[in-house]
Amino acid sequence: MAQVKWTPQAADDLEAICLLIARDAPALDGIFADRVLRATERVAGLPRLGRVVAELGSENIREIIASHAFAFALYFSRELPPMGNELVEIRLNGQSANASDLAVPLAEYERARGTSHRPVQGEEAPEEAPRAGKSFYIETFGCQMNEHDSEKVAGVLLARGYRPAASDDEADLVFYNTCSIREKAAHKVFSHLGAIRKQRRLNPPVIGVLGCVAQQEGEEIFERAPWVSLVCGSASYARLPELLGRLEAGAGRVTGLSLDVDDCFETELTRRNHPFRAYLTIIEGCDKACSYCVVPMTRGPERSRASDGILTDARRLASEGYTEIQLLGQTVNSYRDPSPARLSFAELLGRVAEIPGIRRVRFTTSHPSDFTPDIVRALEENPVLCNHIHLPAQSGSDAVLARMRRTYTREQYLEKIHCIRSARRAISISTDMIVGFSGESPGDFGQTLALLDEVGYDQVFAFKYSPRPKTEALGWPDDVPDLEKGRRLSELQDRQRQIQVARNAQLVGKEFEVLVEGFQPRLGQAVGRTTGNRVVNFPGEDGWRGQYMRVRVTSAGPNSLVGERVQAGAAPGPVAE
């Protein structure tokens, strides 16, 4: 490590730089030194950094930052435990540093800042070390929107000095970010609330219920689970700092349940849970009025983010090393740019795909009524845009679609499918289906099965209908017995399984670029995903995560493909996607 003489000015300036690093890259477990270096390069134009260079010498500033900045970023974000004799492994350009390496620089820094509370080795420790910030744990149920909301909620907590805990057994603050799209998901939340009350009876945490169940049930949650302290719907997340302040001041029951919102939930700090894929919300809420759906009642009206803010976030994510961005919205293609640029959804896709460093752009979920040919043209023209579209049909029967208030007919839906299938680039299609909706006859269900055959979906997410609170359909007869719903669901899944077996078999011998997402140690297989959202398993190593590789498919099953890595320099085979 470089020898640094800390002056108050230099220490102050390095603190500012490190705070920027900690704020821009808070998912500390997944950050490597090269990302930290990129973060420092992004602030290289700041006058404060110029003073640090002058103070410490331009010839060694990069080495100083590489040696110390990550440790200081950890320190300022309250992730680094007190030094003592503990070993704290920190990755620095492929090497590790431990507590003894960092104790002296930190102590010198603290002396210069006049904030010393950790002893240099050999000195006596002060009588009482400061307490670490309180810890939090968030458990997330449901869709990618909820996953990303949890990342942003975690950012709010980090900014207030909380630190993440490994489990709800250890946390001072436990949040459940909930989903109410189906009855089973809502029941699961109350099951968890009962379980944590028992397991933490001797040291109860502060418990909060967030998301759709919170908005749907409101203050009734306090009646069913009096040990809950916070109930906050997703439309009120922008008020979280205020709500947390009230909790921290000792308030027993705090709520955020208003749907009267105009803006999307944004945070200065987002704790990303994935090291190379980042979610980016572009629209929240829903203005559709599907008779079975709770989303308009739990997430509020549609609010689109301004395109300049979205593009700024996407550029920042690319500079931090994220190579795949997934644009999110309940009806993502209903996006309407409120800024003077007035970008269409297809134009926004193209602008995000142009950002250097971004190799893949996905989006979900699309509504058929707002799906337009220019989206298909954008996918045709730019290979960075992933060739996969999730287009929920929900039913193949016009009668059921009308009762569902889906705003399109079977024929109109098939026109969208024809547009996608006619593209110059092969595009995979997935969908959602509901079986057993109110009034669904055997003939209606037969039309849904026929739709599977006609479209040839690459994947189907199918569910039994369950009436949801505050929806129009709640007052209608739930007249398909549960046993029959289960039978129809099994029949649909069996039919779709046959379709996927046949479609995937056509891919044997073809080559795909995959992004390696995981590793199965028992099988010694890497798990990759194609741009078309197909999973490919192939012999690999755990260290391949985040890398892009060419893989040849050798066999296929209904839900995934098996392949082998194509070595560099090998003669190319038939390339798909």
pLDDT tens track for 20-36 = 444 444 333 333 344 44
Task: Calculate mean pLDDT across residues 411-429.
Answer: 98
Within a 13 Å sphere around the CA of 113, how many CA atoms are in the beta-carbon half?
A: 17
8 Å CB contact between 174 and 196: yes
8 Å CB contact between 329 and 282: yes
CA distances to 169, 188, 255, 461, 550 from 142, in Å: 22, 11, 21, 13, 32
pLDDT tens for each residue of 452-490: 999 999 999 999 999 999 999 999 999 999 999 999 999
Closest CA to 486 of 463, 508, 506: 463
8 Å CB contact between 534 and 506: no
Task: Calculate mean pLDDT across residues 103-131.
Answer: 42
- Please say if the pLDDT value at position 56 is more than 90: no
C-alpha–C-alpha distance, residues 161 and 156, integer Å: 9
- Please say if the pLDDT value at position 347 is more than 90: yes
Number of Cβ within a 10 Å radius of residue 230 = 24
Name the helix (H) or strand (E) containing 308. Answer: helix 307-319
C-alpha–C-alpha distance, residues 387 and 471, integer Å: 34
8 Å CB contact between 500 and 525: no
Name the helix (H) or strand (E) containing 158. Answer: helix 144-159
Residue 421 has a pLDDT of 97
Task: Calculate mean pLDDT across residues 438-444.
Answer: 98
pLDDT band at 111; cut points 50, 70, 90? low
Is the sign of the CA dihedral 560, 564, 567, 569 positive or negative? negative
Sketch the domain layout of the chain as residue ranges: 8-113, 135-256, 277-505, 511-565
The domain made up of 135-256 has a fold known as: Rossmann fold (3.40.50)
- Please say if the pLDDT value at position 268 is more than 80: no
pLDDT band at 536; cut points 50, 70, 90? very high
pLDDT band at 52; cut points 50, 70, 90? low
pLDDT band at 126; cut points 50, 70, 90? very low
8 Å CB contact between 433 and 461: yes
42 pairs with which residues across the strands? Answer: none
Spatial neighbors of 13 by CB under 8 A, at least 6 apart, are 48, 49, 51, 52, 55
Task: Using the structure block, give the residue that is written with the tokens 């899944």.
Answer: 493
Least trusted range by pLDDT, from 54-58, 360-364, 453-457, 544-548? 54-58
CA distances to 335, 388, 460, 488, 535 from 559, in Å: 31, 16, 11, 20, 8
Which residue has better confidence, 568 or 335?
A: 335
Q: Rg of the chain over CA atoms, in angstroms?
A: 26
Residue 183 has a pLDDT of 75
8 Å CB contact between 335 and 363: no
Task: Calculate the average pLDDT of the chain.
Answer: 82
Task: Calculate mean pLDDT across residues 355-372.
Answer: 97
8 Å CB contact between 439 and 431: no
Task: Using the structure block, give the residue that is written with the tokens 């996953």.
Answer: 147
Name the percent of the chain lying above pLDDT 90.
62
8 Å CB contact between 244 and 156: yes
- Please say if the pLDDT value at position 205 is more than 60: yes
8 Å CB contact between 526 and 537: yes
Which residue has better confidence, 490 or 62?
A: 490
150-161 in b/e burial notation, b at 16+ Cβ within 10 A?
bbbbbbbbbbbe
Give helix 33-42 / helix 8-24 axis angle, nearest 10°: 110
- Please say if the pLDDT value at position 49 is more than 80: no
Residue 259 has a pLDDT of 83
Annotate 66-79 with three-state secondary structure. HHHHHHHHHHHCCC
Residue 80 DSSP class:
S
For 509, the token pair is: 């011998």
State residue 118 phi and psi, 5-degree precision. Answer: -125, 130
Residue 61 DSSP class:
H
In CATH terms, the superfamily for domain 277-505 is tm_1862 like domain (3.80.30.20)
Query: Cis before residue 281, ω within 30 degrees of 0?
Result: no
Closest CA to 330 of 357, 302, 290: 302
Question: Could you give the dihedral angle defined by the CA atoms of residues 35, 328, 186 and 160, in that order, rounded to the nearest 10 degrees?
Answer: 40
pLDDT tens for each residue of 487-507: 999 999 999 999 999 999 999
C-alpha–C-alpha distance, residues 316 and 346, integer Å: 21
For 9, the token pair is: 């000015």
The domain made up of 511-565 has a fold known as: OB fold (Dihydrolipoamide Acetyltransferase, E2P) (2.40.50)
For 40, the token pair is: 């420092």
C-alpha–C-alpha distance, residues 121 and 198, integer Å: 44
Residue 417 has a pLDDT of 98
Per CATH, 277-505 and 511-565 having the same topology is answered no
C-alpha–C-alpha distance, residues 3 and 407, integer Å: 68
Least trusted range by pLDDT, from 100-114, 210-224, 242-256, 452-466? 100-114
Q: Is 8 exposed, middle or buried (0-12, 13-18, 19+ CB in 10 A)?
A: exposed
- Please say if the pLDDT value at position 117 is more than 50: no
Residue 538 DSSP class:
E
8 Å CB contact between 330 and 212: no
- Please say if the pLDDT value at position 295 is more than 60: yes
Residue type for position 134 = K
> Which runs of E-coded beta strand occur in 307-393?
324-328, 360-364, 388-390
Closest CA to 74 of 21, 117, 2: 21
Residue type for position 99 = A
Residue 368 DSSP class:
G
